[in-house]
Structure 1
Amino acid sequence: MPQSPDMSRALSPTRVLARFAVRVTLLATFAAFGSIGFGKSLAALLWMSIILCSVVGLIKREPLFGATLNHWDEGVAFGALFALIHIVN
Structure 2
Amino acid sequence: MPPFVASRDRNLTQASKSTAVIVRFGWRMAAISAFAMFGGIGFQRGLTVMLWMSAILGAVIAVFDREEPLDSVLNHWDEAMAYAALCCLAGAFQAPM
- When normalised by structure 2's length, the TM-score is 0.80
Q: Which has the higher contact order (CA 8 A, sep 6+)?
A: 1
Structure 1 residue ranges (4+ consecutive) displaced by more than 6 angstroms after TM superposition: none
Report the aligned-residue RMSD.
2.3
| Whole-angstrom distance in 2 between the partners of 1:85 and 1:15 | 25
Bigger radius of gyration among the two: 2
Tell me, in whole angstroms, the C-alpha distance in 2 between the residues paired with 1:27 and 1:9: 28
Q: In the alignment, does 2:69 pair up with 1:64?
A: yes
TM-score by length of 1: 0.87
Residues 1-89 of structure 1 correspond to what in structure 2 (within 5 A)?
1=3, 12-89=17-94
- Alignment gaps of 5+ in structure 1: none
Task: Give aligned-pair identity as a percent.
Answer: 37
How far is the alpha carbon of 1:9 from its aligned partner? Answer: 8.8
Give the number of aligned pairs.
87
Q: Which runs of 5+ in 2 are unaligned?
A: none
